[in-house]
Amino acid sequence: MEPSVIDSGNAPAIVVADDHDLVRIGMCQLLRHWNPSVVVGEAADGPALERLLAQGSRWDLLLIDLAMPHFGGEAAVCSLMQRHPGIPILVVSGTGDAPTMARLLDAGVAGFLPKSLDGSLMLKAIELVLAGGRYIPTDVLRALPAGRSPVAESAPPVSLTDITPRQREILSLLLEGLPNKVIATRLQIAEATVKMHVTALLRAHGVQSRAELLVKLR
């Protein structure tokens, strides 16, 4: 299957990579219902995902099924994180292999999305990761080896090198003193999306407010 972008616009931009048509199409519809301006890229296998990433689009999040044909599973995810360090990855899975999950968490994935997860919870997880956090469901935590206790559904500090191109764009507009509503209009994205990125930027700089952020940067 050739990669496809099923919407246009300027944000948020999310890739859904899964070989199960019903799952992939359902997730795309869920995202479009959540935010009509969302840009969604679809891929059903590894080569299609690579072609999609090679198009030059600026993606904010990758939702990836490890078991896609011609993908490479865990090793392929680690390779993607090395080649695209600014794009968080949520692993979408129908089953949980504890050792694999532990290794991927150590490698830096943004978390896991069980295919059985309720739609509203799935969207909350996506919002959390877009804001710079990490989502680890409770059942995934239970499956991890003894002694492993990553923080579930939390938002750890974000490295400045990990902020996305979209967040750099918003940061530039923040420095101009523009409010969220004006930034949203300028970039043709939802104001809620701007707020999520601002939250991630505050965390990345270790500050609590926009005013603190501007003082620190100036």
Residue 24 within a domain: yes
Number of CB atoms found within 10 A of residue 77's CB: 22
9 and 46 housed in the same domain: yes
Sheet holding 89-93, edge to edge: 4-5, 39-43, 13-17, 61-65, 89-93, 111-114
Residue 149 within a domain: no
174-197 per-position pLDDT tens digit:
888 888 888 888 888 877 778 878
88 and 22 housed in the same domain: yes
What Rg value do the Cα atoms of the chain yield, rounded? 17
**CA 151/CA 6 separation, integer angstroms:** 34
Domain limits for position 198: 160-217
Identify the domain boundary among 118, 143, 168.
Answer: 143
Please give the single-letter amino acid code of residue 171.
Answer: L
Q: How many structural domains compose the chain?
A: 2
57-102 per-position pLDDT tens digit:
678 899 999 989 999 989 999 999 888 888 899 999 876 677 788 7
Mean pLDDT over the full length of the chain: 79
118 and 42 housed in the same domain: yes
45 and 102 housed in the same domain: yes
Residue 152 within a domain: no
Residue 150 within a domain: no
What's the pTM? 0.66
**CA 38/CA 159 separation, integer angstroms:** 25
**CA 128/CA 32 separation, integer angstroms:** 17
30 and 91 housed in the same domain: yes
Residue 155 within a domain: no
Identify the domain boundary among 115, 143, 171.
Answer: 143
As given in the structure block, the two tokens for residue 144 are 């991890």
**CA 3/CA 201 separation, integer angstroms:** 31
Distances (CA, A) of 197 to 156, 174, 194: 14, 11, 5
As given in the structure block, the two tokens for residue 198 are 């601002």
The pLDDT score that the predictor gives to residue 99 is: 78
Residue 124 within a domain: yes
Residue 57's Cα: distance from chain center in Å?
A: 14
The pLDDT score that the predictor gives to residue 121 is: 85
Confidence of residue 50 (pLDDT cuts 50, 70, 90): very high
**CATH number of the domain bearing residue 202:** 1.10.10.10
Burial class (CB in 10 A: 0-12, 13-18, 19+), 206: exposed
